[in-house]
Amino acid sequence: MKYESQGIAKMYFIAAIALFVGQILFGVTMGLQYVMGDFLFPEIPFNAARMVHTNLLIVWLLFGFMGSAYFLVPEEAERELYAPWLAKLMFWIFLVAGGLTILGYLLVPYARLAELTMNDLLPTMGREFLEQPTITKIGIVIVALAFVFNIGMTVLTGRKTVINLVLLTGLVGLAVFFLFSFYNPDNLVLDKYFWWFVVHLWVEGVWELIMASLLAYVLIKVTGVDREVIEKWLYIIIAMALISGLVGMGHHFFWIGAPAYWQWLGSVFSALEPIPFFMMTLFAFSVVNKRRRDHPNKAAVLWALGTAVMAFLGAGVWGFLHTLAPINYYTHGTQITAAHGHMAFYGAYVMVVLTMISYSMPLMRGKKAANVTAQKLEIRSFWMMTLSMVAITLLLTAAGTMQVYLQRYSAEPLPFMIVQDKLAIFYWLREVAGLIFLSGLFLYIYSFFAKGKEVEFIAEQAE
Amino acid sequence: MPTPITNIEAIEPKLLPGDLAIWLFIFMELLVFGIFFIIYAVVRIQNIELFNHYQLTLNRELGAANTLLLITSSYFVVRAVHAIKADNIKNCIYWLYGALAGGAGFLILKSWEYVDKFSAGINLSTNTFYMFYLSLTMFHFLHVILGMVILFAIAIKAKRGAYSAQNHLGVETGASYWHMVDLVWIILFPLVYIIR
């Protein structure tokens, strides 16, 4: 750690991991509710558990991105953070607002929460992933603006690197596109458009910039490969991500009442969306193969490579599985979507945040890398979480395929609930995989406290 | 005694002009357009009468003029590359401006064509032919703009003295991209406007 203010990342990362645990706890609760419908009812109904599961994911990833930015940007810009106090203040505001919102979801019925927060003044509630009360949304905008200001001033008054600028572009985009969540048209199709302008332009647009820059940063650090080489890759990857991703948004407009041309545009452009992810995989492996040093933090290298592979599989391959319009005609809104959602979020965004944490946490604790035992445990937790996520994805894909066949494709289609009953075996196995994931997460947390022999490493070349 | 080799390029000419990264990018761009062209061809076979009928409503003269503009403009960037290789920065910049003028002419004629179509009430939903016509040409239109931004950036850098006979990789890189924009149009124009 070269600059003191980088240390602010630590509190963000700790909060992120704590919320991650919450997300998975609600995930396994919901997984059980798939097969035991009245589990924890009426205290935690399925819809509330689902809302908490997805909202916690978004909030903890945002904590992770912010923490990563606070760690990365000062070092890249070669100066202290513009306003460390602002970063600390925003942390507490965001944590308290996030916590209150989650409590609101759990303690009062959603309609009552809407009343309490005066949603009728500016109605923004009730849309998947954007369920937050309007005041929380305003809070998110304030936190995001303060954050972008802080990071922006640090970048603009310091050394400007490609990584910093790509990251800043991604973060500005993140803040700007969130503004679409305040517009809530009466027309249901238009409403979906604006909803996707937030959701899609985040996860298949600007978040990819954030992810690519974080990955590039860690790869520079752990491999010592020339910055110029990595920056060139970064340019091509983000150009391709934006070209394919922006028009690729069309794949969300199939069969919802939007014009038919989206079927062509959406199919063609989203068929290209796996390419930047594939390039990211090539990039990560070629850079690690060309490494000029063996970094003592083996776990961080593994996370970085894992991110590239799993993002390609989850976002690229599993996304492509159902983005061609004729296929989506059958798979729209089935468990295939859930399969893709799980692996894409884990592979791309969860893993890139964990990569950053893995690389930076030891540095913030005054070491080059975690001790031998801790790294061993962390690597084991990597495999537990990653493989169980692969299992969840495969099981949901199997469930989805069967669902499509029984409910939509066979000569005598069955009703939704009958089909769900027939899928129970997949849901049970998915729950088992979910519990393994949870254990992996606990092991991951434990690895931070494990004591052991410090790693030995050879003196290295500059940077 | 053999003279030591100082310049690898002197004995081993480079396979591709410009930066390798731009070729990766060009390859992907061509892939996108390629997929689009193939789909266009397949859908055309299935709706041959519709396509033949509405193809006649397109303005071929403007299309032909635009083809000439882009080919001329491509020639200008070739001259710009030659100029910088001869260390003639001033000429390089003039040729780049010439190429930019060609691109601007293309955009003006194309906009005129669009205004004509839009004012006739044609949009992406009118029919499958117009859907392809509009999305293909508009996607290419955006590429012309991007190509012009790149050429303009190179012209500015050239003005600041960033390029010379020894260091002209940037000019070659931008020129390669501009040729791609031209090439795509040379396929797109007959495919959508002419072939029956």
Best A264, A279, A323, A324 member to test B by mutation, with max B CBs in 10 Å, is A264
As given in the structure block, the two tokens for residue A88 are: 């600390």
- A345 within 8 A of A311, measured Cβ to Cβ: no
Q: For residue A178, which of A226, A142, A219, A227 has the smallest C-alpha distance?
A: A142
Whether A93 maps to a domain, the answer reads no
CB–CB contact A264 B131 (8 Å)? yes
Torsion sign (Cα): A396, A399, A403, A405: positive
Q: List chain B residues with CB under 8 Å of A240.
A: 25, 28
CB–CB contact A239 B25 (8 Å)? yes
Q: What is the per-residue pLDDT for B104?
A: 98
Q: What is the per-residue pLDDT for B151?
A: 97
Rounded Cα distance, A291 and A110, in Å? 52
Q: For residue A205, which of A115, A281, A276 has the smallest C-alpha distance?
A: A276
Q: Does B142 touch chain A (CB under 8 A)?
A: no
Q: What is the per-residue pLDDT for A213?
A: 96
Q: Does B57 touch chain A (CB under 8 A)?
A: no
Whether A8 maps to a domain, the answer reads no
Give the domain extent around A327. Answer: 238-450
Q: What is the per-residue pLDDT for A458?
A: 55
Q: For residue A433, which of A392, A385, A397 has the smallest C-alpha distance?
A: A392
Q: Does B153 touch chain A (CB under 8 A)?
A: no
User: Could you say which of A243, A259, A275 has the minimum Cβ distance to residue B125?
Assistant: A259
Residue at A268: amino acid letter: V
CB–CB contact A268 B32 (8 Å)? yes
CB–CB contact B35 A268 (8 Å)? yes
- A440 within 8 A of A388, measured Cβ to Cβ: yes
- The single-letter DSSP state of residue B192 is I
Q: What is the per-residue pLDDT for A463?
A: 43
Rounded Cα distance, A236 and A279, in Å? 9
Rounded Cα distance, A424 and A97, in Å? 37
CB–CB contact A268 B36 (8 Å)? yes
Q: What is the per-residue pLDDT for B14?
A: 67
Q: Which CATH number belongs to the domain containing residue A434 in this structure?
A: 1.20.210.10
Contacts of A363 (CB under 8 A, 6+ apart): A1
Rounded Cα distance, A147 and A160, in Å? 18
For A332, B23, B39, B176, the CA distances from B27, given in Å and listed in that order, are 32, 6, 18, 11
Q: Is the peptide bond before B17 cis (omega within 30 degrees of 0)?
A: no
How many domains does chain A fold into? 1
In tens, the pLDDT along A263-302 reads 999 999 999 999 999 999 999 999 999 999 899 999 999 9
Q: What is the per-residue pLDDT for B28?
A: 86
Domain map (residue ranges) of chain B: 57-194
Q: Does B32 touch chain A (CB under 8 A)?
A: yes
Q: Low-confidence residues of chain A, pLDDT below 50?
A: 461-463
Chain B residue with Cα closest to A231 = B21
Whether A25 maps to a domain, the answer reads no
Q: Low-confidence residues of chain B, pLDDT below 70?
A: 1-14
User: Could you say which of B25, B35, B125 has the minimum Cβ distance to residue A271?
Assistant: B35
**CATH homologous superfamily, domain B57-194:** Cytochrome c oxidase, subunit III, four-helix bundle (1.20.120.80)
Tokens 């996108």 correspond to B32
Whether A147 maps to a domain, the answer reads no
Count of CB atoms within 10 A of residue A431's CB?
Answer: 22
Whether A301 maps to a domain, the answer reads yes
User: Could you say which of B24, B35, B125 has the minimum Cβ distance to residue A261?
Assistant: B125
Q: For residue A66, which of A153, A136, A156, A168 has the smallest C-alpha distance?
A: A168
Q: For residue A225, which of A166, A167, A281, A288 has the smallest C-alpha distance?
A: A288
Number of H helices, E strands in chain A: 19, 0
Compute CA A362 distance to the chain's CA centroid, rounded to the nearest angstrom.
23
Rounded Cα distance, A230 and A220, in Å? 7
Question: A79 CA to chain B: closest CA distance, Å?
Answer: 29
Number of H helices, E strands in chain B: 7, 0
Contacts of A99 (CB under 8 A, 6+ apart): none
- A23 within 8 A of A436, measured Cβ to Cβ: no
